[in-house]
Amino acid sequence: MSRATARRVHVLRAVVDDYVNSREPVGSAALVERHNLGVSAATIRNDMAVLEEQGLIEAPHTSAGRIPTEQGYRYFVDRIEDIKPLSAAERRAIHQLLEGAEELDDVLARTARALSALTQQVAVIQIPKVSNTRIRHVEILTMGPGQVLVVVIASNGDVTQRMVPAPHEVSDVDVALVRDQIAEHIVGKPLHAVTGVLTSVSSPPPGDPTGFNLPRQLLDFAHTVARAIASALTAHQVDRVVLSGTANLARSQQDFRKDLTGLLETLEEQVVLLRLLSEMEADDDQVVVRIGSENTHAELTDTSVVASSYGTNGSAMLGVLGPTRMDYSGSMGAVRAIARYLSRILSS
């Protein structure tokens, strides 16, 4: 790289930094004043003219200053040498926020809030796939006459609950018998196999020994509980995402060319976000960035997405979504740190 080319890279980096921080077009005089570039304003103007010819910066309307283009942001991101690490205070804040969270849904919700707060963007976390997850514990709790609460805990900490009707004459001893029979059939089994097991034991052919070994008067109740668990687990295994920080978009509204309504509606469509994250699948510890029109969905072309994999063998993705005027280094650092932190929590 020639000296002039290297200097223009520094100029572009300075334009991006100043524009991200101020939201104001950047002029050569401001660059000379704020950055130690070691050359005159005239040289900077010439460099900016070359960058504009290359499509890396542009003049918005009639402004004398310049702002980065999508291509400029891409050039900048591809040359980020050091991803900004989290400060000690930020690490402490994450630890305090996640401390005490045990259920998977709670862990992910808190993690999404932490990531959104760190980046001031929308945080998106894909709930991990359950291919290696097993049933760890089953509990049935009497909640009052005619009703029990069924609780199923998975090995990844995920908790599924379902209220189930019960005969009024069922005692706590009866409930314990049913619980033990169901636990015998599903505890230790992979989550993806449990639905089939429960369907089989809740509708066995006459005389089939694989059914529940219970008094006749408890069989209907046991079958009802089994079907409820199967239904709840099936619903729970559907790919889902956790969102936090959509209000941050309103604070950045002027960074978007279009009204935010379409973008907000898109964020409600989990299938779009799941497809986006699956398309950004990354190797362990790698951070992937998509900028503007690199996002193929029409409502996402004004946004940038920074994402990384987490969990066992990178089984799920998390990231942030915001305007293209984004602190890329800070967002990449936060996403990578949160992905590492979450992976450690889920593996412990």
Q: Which domains does the chain have, with CATH numbers?
A: 3-78 (1.10.10.10), 88-129+239-347 (3.30.450.40), 135-235 (3.30.390.10)
Closest CA to 90 of 115, 125, 122: 115
Digit-coded pLDDT (tens) for 10-59:
999 999 999 999 999 999 988 988 888 888 889 999 999 999 999 999 99
Cβ atoms < 10 Å from Cβ of 35 = 16
pTM strictly above 0.85: no
Instruction: Give the residue with greater pLDDT, 304 vs 268.
Output: 304
Lowest mean pLDDT among 36-45, 233-242, 330-339: 233-242
Is the pLDDT at 206 greater than 70? The verdict is no
Which pLDDT belongs to residue 115? 96
Which pLDDT belongs to residue 121? 97
Q: What is the distance between the alpha carbons of residues 141 and 137, in angstroms, rounded to a whole number?
A: 13
Which pLDDT belongs to residue 208? 56
Closest CA to 112 of 104, 289, 265, 155: 104
Predicted confidence band at 209 (pLDDT cuts at 50, 70, 90)? low
Q: What percent of the chain has pLDDT over 90?
A: 49
Which pLDDT belongs to residue 204? 61
Mean pLDDT, rounded, for 251-280: 88
Cross-strand bridge partners of residue 159: 153
Counting runs of H as helices and runs of E as strands, what totals does the chain give? 13, 10
When mean pLDDT is compared over 67-81, 276-290, 299-313, the highest value belongs to 67-81
Mean pLDDT, the chain, rounded, equals 87
Which pLDDT belongs to residue 249? 93
SS3 content of the chain, % helix, strand, coil (to 5): 50, 20, 30
Is the pLDDT at 325 greater than 90? The verdict is yes
For 94, the 3-state DSSP assignment is helix
Is the pLDDT at 175 greater than 90? The verdict is yes
Which pLDDT belongs to residue 306? 97
Lowest mean pLDDT among 65-69, 117-121, 266-270: 266-270
Torsion angle defined by CA atoms of residues 48, 49, 55 and 59, in that order, rounded to the nearest 10 degrees: 80
Instruction: Please spell the DSSP secondary structure of 115-179, one letter per residue.
Output: HHHHHTSEEEEEPPP-TT-BEEEEEEEEEETTEEEEEEEETTS-EEEEEEE--TT--HHHHHHHH
Radius of gyration, alpha carbons of the chain:
27
For residue 222, what are its two tokens?
């046991």
Is the pLDDT at 112 greater than 90? The verdict is yes
Mean pLDDT, rounded, for 96-121: 88
Which pLDDT belongs to residue 158? 78
Which pLDDT belongs to residue 242? 92
Is the pLDDT at 236 greater than 70? The verdict is no
